[in-house]
Amino acid sequence: MPLPNWKRYQRHRKPGRSLLLTLVLTFAPELIVQFTLTIIDCVLEFAGPFFLQRILRSIEISKDGLSINNIRGRYLDVFGLFLSTLATAILFNQALWVSRRLSIRLKGLLVAELSTKTLCRRGKGSSGEKKQTDKDNNNKDATEEDSADTDGKVMNILTADFQRVVIVGSFMTGMYTIPLKFVIGVWYMYNMLGVSALIGLIITIVYIPLSKMLFIRLRKLRQMQSAASDKRIATITELLQGIKAVKLFGWESRFLEKVDERREHQLDYSWKVFLWSASVNVSAFLNPIIILVIMFTSYVVVFGNTLNAEIAFTSISIFQMVRSAISGFPSFINFGIGGYVSLKRIDSYFKQPKVQDLEERTAAQTFGDELGFDCADLEWNSPETTKDTANAESNTP
C-alpha cells in the first residue's frame, strides 16, 4: 500500500528544489484546509465576548423594563453565544485533527525517504566519496554536505531533527492564530478601554522575560535534582552489587555515610525545586490580577471613566485571550526556528551522493570487437601505493 501523499511528493520533488517548498506543495491541500479552519475558529473565539458584552449592556439598561423586541434580541444573543461556543469547539477539534493527520503523514513520508537515503548513501571513506569531495572542494555547499557525514550527525538527523519537523506539523495551527488573535484582541480592548488597554499590554510584555527566567531557573534545578537522584541510585546499586565484599571487610558504616550524603544532597535540591515551583505558581496566579487592577485603575482614576459590568467582564475575557497569545508566542517561534533548521539539515542529508544503482552496475554493455577500458582511473606505483606496500613488507616477519 503506497504512503499517503507519496505520489504528490514524487511529482514535486525536483532537482534543485528545496525540501521545504517540496513539502509545502505536497501538503498544500491539507495546509489550506488547516489554515481556513484555524482562521475561522480564531475569529469565532471573539464572538463569545461580543455576545457577552451585548447581554451585559442589556442588563445595564433594563432598569425600566425591556420591550418585546429587546427581550427577543437578548434571547438571540444568548442563542448566538451558545452557537459560537459550539462552532468554536467543533472547528478547533477539526483543525487539530487535520494537523495530527498532516503530522502522521509527514512522519511516514520522512521515514520512508530517510530510510531509502540511508540505505543508498555512499559510505564514509569510500573511494567514490573521496573523489566527489575532491571535486567539490570549491563548492560552497560541500561544507554542509561534509559536515553531515559523521555517524553521530546522521543519528541526530534520523532522531532529533526528524522529531522537530514532525512536531512543527502538529502545532502549526498556533502559528496562524497567535498573530491574528493578538491583533483582534488589542483592537477590541483599545476600543473599550482606550490607552489603559495599552498600559496593561506593556506590563504583560515586560513580564514575559521575567517569567521565562523563573522557568529556566526551575528547569536547571530539576536537572540538578535528577542528577543527584541518579548519583544516589548509583551508590545504592554499587552497594547491593558488592554486598558480599562490604560485609566481609566491614564497610557498612562507610557506605551508609556515603548514601546518606547523597540523599541529603538530593533533598537539598528537592527543597529548592519546591520553593521555586511555589514562587512560579504564585507569580503565574498573581500576574493577571495585578495587570487587571492596574489597567482598571488607570481607566477610572487617571482617565476619569466609569467602570461598569459590560466593560469589566468583557475586558477580562479579551485580556485572557490576548495574554495566552503573548505567552505562547515565544514557544511557537522556538518550534518554528528549530523545525526550519532541522529541515535544512535533512535537506542537506538528502543531497549527499549515493551509491551507483544496481541496474547501472549490472547493465550489459556492448562495445563490438573493441577491448579496453571506459572512464577508468589506472594507477601504478603511486606514492600512496608504494608507501603502503613498503609498510606491509616491513611488518611481515
What does the pLDDT average to over 161-165? 81
CA dist., res. 11 & res. 5, Å (int): 10
| Report for 89-103, 114-128, 238-252: range of highest mean pLDDT | 89-103
Residue 59 has pLDDT above 80, yes or no: no
| Residues 228 and 269: beta-carbon distance below 8 Å | yes
What does the pLDDT average to over 94-110? 89
What does the pLDDT average to over 50-77? 74
**What pLDDT, on a 0 to 100 scale, did the predictor assign at position 143?**
43
What does the pLDDT average to over 101-105? 88
What does the pLDDT average to over 314-342? 81
Residue 148 has pLDDT above 90, yes or no: no
Residue 388 has pLDDT above 80, yes or no: no
Confidence of residue 125 (pLDDT cuts 50, 70, 90): very low
**What pLDDT, on a 0 to 100 scale, did the predictor assign at position 88?**
92
When mean pLDDT is compared across 202-206, 238-242, 359-363, the lowest value belongs to 359-363
**What pLDDT, on a 0 to 100 scale, did the predictor assign at position 87?**
93
Q: Where are the alpha helices (DSSP H) in the chain?
A: 6-12, 19-26, 28-45, 47-60, 68-120, 127-135, 142-147, 151-156, 162-170, 173-193, 195-241, 243-249, 252-297, 309-350, 358-362, 383-394
CA dist., res. 34 & res. 176, Å (int): 9
Residue 182 has pLDDT above 60, yes or no: yes
Judged by DSSP in three states, 137 sits in coil
**What pLDDT, on a 0 to 100 scale, did the predictor assign at position 199?**
86
CA dist., res. 36 & res. 176, Å (int): 10
CA dist., res. 4 & res. 10, Å (int): 11
CA dist., res. 342 & res. 329, Å (int): 20
CA dist., res. 112 & res. 35, Å (int): 27
**What pLDDT, on a 0 to 100 scale, did the predictor assign at position 370?**
66
Residue 250 has pLDDT above 80, yes or no: yes
Q: Which amino acid is at 144?
A: E
Confidence of residue 152 (pLDDT cuts 50, 70, 90): low
What does the pLDDT average to over 33-39? 91
Grid cell digits, residue 52: 457577552
| Residues 160 and 21: beta-carbon distance below 8 Å | no
**What pLDDT, on a 0 to 100 scale, did the predictor assign at position 90?**
93
Q: Could you tell me which of 212, 170, 187, 176 has the C-alpha nearest to residue 330?
A: 212
Confidence of residue 363 (pLDDT cuts 50, 70, 90): low
Phi, psi angle pair for 16, to nearest 5°: 90, -15
Q: How many CB atoms lie within 10 A of CB 349?
A: 23
When mean pLDDT is compared across 117-121, 195-199, 254-258, the lowest value belongs to 117-121
**What pLDDT, on a 0 to 100 scale, did the predictor assign at position 384?**
56
CA dist., res. 221 & res. 214, Å (int): 11
Residue 41 has pLDDT above 60, yes or no: yes
